[in-house]
Amino acid sequence: MITEVVLPGQVEPEGLELRTRPLPEPGPGQALVAVEASGVSFAEQQMRRGKYYDQPPFPFVPGYDLVGTVVSTGLGVDPALRGRRFAALTKIGGWASHALVDAGDLVEVPEGVDAAEAETVVVNGITAWQMLHRMAKVRPGMTVLVHGANGGVGTTLVQLARHAGIKVIGTASPRHHDAVRALGATPLDYRDPDLPGRVRALAPGGVDAVFDHVGGEGIVDSFRLLARGGTLVSYGTAATRDVPGSSRAPVLKLFARLLLWNLLPNGRGAHFFNLWAGRRRKAAYQARIRADLGQVLALLASGEFTAMVAARIPLSDAAEAMRLAESGTVTGKVVLVADQDARRGGEEGAR
């Protein structure tokens, strides 16, 4: 039997449902993965509210990514994959004891890397790597601003930027400043009414890139803080998380702003990062994901990158995991783990 967490509709975390059903057989090109870890990200938080841009209709099993071991393979898939640990992007379906995954989406996890630690760099690692190196094209000696530097993507961005020789300014609430500083960034209070002035004091000529998951009216300051030739990378609309109404309206307004800014003759660029862009060219997309996630996993395996596990919570306690992830009190990523492997770790003391 497979055990999975179901999101039945727009519910509070306590409304998540646990169900079991017969274990599925992998079809052609698929692998059945015994899930060891799956993350709780902003995407699931928005899906719970019915506000994720292209979420499926309720009910469905959330879970944007996973790490686990292949237990069986379908027609056309190398049976040698069985017994090996892989990571995969799934968008939905990861919050389960087992998941069917397209074999082409599997990225092997290096030996000796803990499943929950690997999980922290799947969607976060791909997102951070591609925003830094494919979109902003950072170079050593640059200065960047990372909003939400204590979050899952934020802590990953800070570490990858520092590894690339980039100076980082990171916003977070004061309770997280020590953690942000320990990662190598200069922390600033995101609630500071003179935040733009604080950033300019550290980067008088402006910053070379801003990574903004907040959106809303604050995105204007993010663009204004860019140096000439700088790049704004927007990758979320957290500011409108609890605003009632259409999930598309804030995104479309953001897109319009970014488009307008790109037309201005000031040498600055403004882009929205979409993890799923290019998916229609499936083989090329999968190759890019394998290459980029492979880079981050290699850094993790070598000890040059620290996995920020905020907490390890059993799959059966998904409601607790979602509440904690939404609380804003932790540094890093909340990870759901197989019940028998549940261990608490990381920054749980921040609660």
Query: Structural domain tally of the chain?
Result: 2
Global pTM value: 0.92
Identify whether residues 131 and 189 lie together within a single domain. Answer: yes
Residue 214 falls inside a structural domain: yes
**176 shares a domain with 42:** no
Token pair for residue 274? 């979409």
Mean pLDDT score of the chain, rounded to an integer? Answer: 93
Residue 148 shares a structural domain with residue 75: no
pLDDT average, residue stretch 215-236: 95
With pLDDT > 90 as the criterion, what percentage of the chain qualifies?
86
Residues 64, 30: one domain? yes
Q: Any idea which of 27-31, 34-38, 141-145, 248-252 has the lowest mean pLDDT?
A: 248-252
What is the reported pLDDT for 247? 66
- Tell whether 69 is covered by a domain: yes
What is the predicted pLDDT for the residue at 84? Answer: 98
Q: Are residues 101 and 207 in the same domain?
A: no
Assigned domain for 277 exists: no
Q: Is 246 in the same domain as 158? A: yes
Are both 233 and 323 inside the same structural domain? no
In a domain, 161, yes or no: yes
Neighbouring residues of 311: CB distance < 8 A, sequence distance ≥ 6: 321, 324, 330, 334, 335, 344, 345, 346, 347, 348
**Most distant CA pair in the chain: distance in Å?**
61
Q: Which of 31-35, 265-269, 313-317, 342-346 shows the lowest mean pLDDT across its residues?
A: 342-346
User: Residue 346's pLDDT is what?
Assistant: 38
- From 272, 296, 329, the end of a domain falls on 272
Domain-terminating residue out of 272, 293, 327:
272
Other Cβ atoms within 10 Å of 227 Cβ, number: 17
Average pLDDT over residues 6-10: 97
49 assigned to some structural domain = yes
DSSP structural state of residue 132: I
Question: Looking at the structure, do residues 253 and 156 belong to the same domain, yes or no?
Answer: yes
Instruction: Convert the pLDDT of each residue in 261-278 to its tens digit.
Output: 999 898 999 999 999 999
Tokens in use for 197?
A: 């002035």
Q: Is residue 292 assigned to a domain?
A: no
184: domain CATH number is 3.40.50.720
pLDDT at residue 348, as a whole number:
40
Same domain for 129 and 108, yes or no, is: no
Whole-number pLDDT of residue 237: 83
**Looking at the domain assignment, is residue 201 inside a domain?**
yes
Domain with 135 in it: 125-272
Q: Has residue 296 been placed in a domain?
A: no
CA–CA distance, 88 with 95 (Å, rounded to integer): 13
* Nearby residues of 343 by Cβ (< 8 Å), 6 or more positions away: 312, 337
Per-residue pLDDT at 8 exceeds 80: yes
Specify whether the backbone of 267 is left (phi greater than 0), alpha (psi in -120 to 50) or beta: left
132 and 234 in a single domain? The answer is yes
192 and 236 co-located in one domain: yes
- pLDDT at residue number 266: 87
Tens digit of each residue's pLDDT (9 = 90 or more) over 82-108: 999 999 999 999 999 999 999 999 999
